[in-house]
Structure 1
Amino acid sequence: MRLEYLELIDEVVALDAAGGTLRARSRLPMESPVFEGHFPGAPLVPGTMLTEIMAQACGFLILKRRDFARLPVLMAIDRARFRAYVGPGAALEIAMAVETEGSGYVAATAEIRSEGRQVADAALRFRLAAEFGQVLDILRARAEALGLIGAAGG
């Protein structure tokens, strides 16, 4: 995980593109500028970062389901809950599922677990954008590095 560059997913461990589910892993770094201000002497991952981790997992699945033809752009966080503190070095397991899809929008749910306990969950909505410059090429390369392209189930 590279917090500073918003590369927040380290590995896709299970994918069912047709069924609309994905599981991924990520390990937080021990040190990051993110922790310097949140909070000095008691570093925690900001809730916005946990939400972004869930959104990225959802985004990769949506990209895979759409064969990287449309860019999922986070447009709404309908519900987000943070259930436990998450600190440096934590191993995260992310699970997400597409709930509904149509008319250029996707609704999904996601959760993050660490050491077997749920630390965050959210309901997220995405709009599918047709044009977004070279972003899709960059995301395709990242998905390939994560093992998402060429993965079974999609």
Structure 2
Amino acid sequence: MDIYEILKYLPHRYPFILVDRVVSYEPGEKIIALKNVSINEPYFIGHFPHYPVMPGVLIVEALAQAAALLTLKTENAAKNDAQVYYFVGIDGVRFKKPVMAGDQLMLKVEITRQIKGVWKYSARAEVDDQLVTEAELMCTARNI
């Protein structure tokens, strides 16, 4: 999926769209997406001007956006302005290495369970094949 297809599925827009491309996906199974971390990201102005590190919460958000894309592609549902996917849980988050300006973040998410509208995922972010962040995510859709 290129950015134009991603924008058909996710409600996020600049400066909060954190998935640039989907490399591969298997509906109902897994997705691999990427985020190019540019020095032009607005958060680098304050985090940190002398040492540009991507905030960990934004890495987790990037993983969540990849998970949402996987769910939406699994359900074959393009963006619906009457529905939003929300976090309902984040467990076991670990930050192993900082993500710097110039890195390419590979977002790897697998569905581990789906029960009664709640989706659970195993998620990991890597840079140069090295684990930088891992977490278990849970999301659900809600009408707005």
Same fold (TM over 0.5): yes
SS at match of 2:32: strand
TM-score, structure 2 as length reference: 0.82
Secondary structure at the aligned position of 1:55 is classed as helix
CA-atom RMSD in angstroms: 2.0
- Partner in structure 1 of residue 20 of structure 2: 10
Q: Check whether the contact 2:39–2:52 (CA below 8 A) recurs between aligned residues.
A: no
1:126 equivalent in alignment to 2:136: no
Give the equivalent residue in structure 2 for 1:26. 35
Distance 1:67 1:126, change over 3 A: same
Identity within the alignment, %: 25
Instruction: Name the counterpart of 2:52.
Output: 43
Give how far 1:4 is off.
Answer: 4.9
Report Cα offsets for 1:118-154 as digits up to 9, x if no partner. 111110001122x23xxxxxxxxxxxxxxxxxxxxxx
Q: How many residues align?
A: 130
1 CA distance for matches of 2:122 and 2:128?
A: 20
Tell me the TM-score normalized by structure 1.
Answer: 0.77
Q: In the alignment, residue 41 of structure 1 is paired with which amino acid?
A: H
Output the CA distance in 2 between the equivalents of 1:124 and 1:52: 10
1:84-143 Cα shifts (integer Å, max 9, x gaps): 0111111111111000001110110111110121111110001122x23xxxxxxxxxxx
Distance 1:40 1:30, change over 3 A: closer
Separation (CA, whole Å) in 1 of partners of 2:51 and 2:41: 13
- What secondary structure, in the 3-state scheme, does the structure 1 residue paired with 2:66 have? helix
Structure with greater strand percent: 2
The corresponding residue for 1:85 is: 98
- Aligned match of 1:111: 124
The residue type equivalent to 2:89 in the other structure is A
For structure 1, the residue ranges without an aligned partner over 5 or more in a row are: 133-154
CA distance in 2, matches of 1:116, 1:13: 15
Q: State the shift of 1:32 in Å.
A: 2.5
List, as ranges, runs of 4+ consecutive aligned residues in structure 1 with deviation greater than 3 Å.
1-4
